[in-house]
Each structure stands twice: as structure tokens, then as C-alpha cells.
Copies of this chain bind each other. A is one copy, B any other.
Amino acid sequence: MARPRNDALHEATRARILETARKQMTLYGTAGLGLRAIARELDQTPTALYRYFPSLDDLITALIVDAFSALADALEAARDAEAGGPMEKLRAVLLAYRAWAVANPTDFQLIYGNPIPGYDAPREVTVPAVVRGFVVLVGLVEAAVQSGAIVPRPPYDAMPAETLAAIDALIAGEGYPVSAQAMYLAMVAWSAGHGIVLLELFHHLQPVIGDPAVFYAAQLDALLRSFGAAPG
């Protein structure tokens, strides 16, 4: 080939486009994303972007995958930075979940909020990205169960038979090396944190309870205490 593509430069421009897209998204919402607006901000022709993304939908997919990866990075970093046992690491990871959402509200809306009209995420590329973050959570719950930090105790010592059957089927089907109880408690913790984060993000919490960080930490500690151990 007579003129090889400068991969480093190409990648850098691609990153600049995504960065600008993220900025636009912050200003105009996830549904306000547009190729022309991004190009305008970059002082470029709209058509120039087609060198980097075959279509707007592909650009959105890249944004989504990046967001899931960044969230997973944050969760892994929190886990590895915490020196304590699995219970303390679990606490750190759930705190990091909220922290990331608050620091990156638009990215959080992109991956966990309303779908973008006319856009359909290709599952084969987004699902692995979701799983990576969830694995951090489940892994720590499993470790806490193994170490005896989490002990079966009401009301979380049992789960509905139907729920257990679904989890068992998933674990068997995908070959995940975790117990059904760990996966169940991970979902319990995730959904609990998720609810607070979303209410905070759209300002439904603050008028009542003040600082959401305090409220979130209190709920997290209450939940972990119910799981069988006092918070670290």
C-alpha cells in the first residue's frame, strides 16, 4: 500500500470526535446527539466524520460501549484500591457506582436511561460491556459469602423459588462460577443502589433528604448489615 494509514493519528481523531459527542450529549441530552452538531463543534465538514464512523448509530454504539467500560473500570479500581476484606471491597464498589454516576450523569443516562429514539443497540457488543461491571459486584458478594462475612440471615436467607430457578438456569447456561445466593444478593444490592442514584440524578431526592451521598451511604450500610455483617 502506497500510503499507510497513521493509526495513532486516526485513533486520536476518533477519540476527539467521541469526546465532542459526549460534550454535546451533556448539553443537549442523549437524544440530542447529531453528526452535524459534532462536526460543527470540531470545525469540520459533517462528511469528514464518515471516515471514522460509518453512521451516527455506530458512533452512539461506541459511546455506549465506552461508558460501560468506564463504569467497569471505576468499579474495578475501587475494588482494588480498598485494602480490606470482601465486605469492605463490596462497600467500596457500591460507593463507586454512585460516584461514577454522579460524576458522569450523561453517560449514566446513556446506558441506564431512556433509549434514544430510532437507535437500537446491537446486543452482541453491549451485553459483554454490561457484564464486565456486574462481574465485579457478584465476585465480591461471592467472596464475602465464601469468607463467612455474609451469612444467611432473614430476610435475605432465602429467595422465591421462581427467582432461584431463573438464576440457576443462567448460571448453568453461562457457566458462571458463582452461587445463586451470591448472584441474588448482588441483584438486591444493585437495584437498591440504582434507585437512589436515579432519583438523585433527576433531583427527586435532594429536596427531601438533603445530601444524597449521606443517604446513599446510610442505605448501603443498612443493606450490608442485613446481609450479615457490620459495615467496614
Contacts and interface: CB of A to CB of B under 8 A. Distances in A.
A186 to B, nearest CB: 9
A194 B190 contact: no
Contacts of A167: 208-210
A52 to B, nearest CB: 24
Count this chain's copies in the assembly.
2
A152 interface: no
A207 B198 CA distance: 21
B191 A205 contact: yes
Contacts of A82: none
Given A162-B214, A194-B195, 10 more contacts: A28-B118, A31-B114, A32-B118, A113-B113, A113-B202, A156-B222, A163-B218, A170-B208, A191-B219, A195-B198
Interface of A: 28-32, 109, 112-118, 130, 154-156, 159-160, 162-163, 165-167, 170, 183-184, 187-188, 190-199, 202, 204-205, 207-211, 214-215, 217-219, 221-222, 225-226
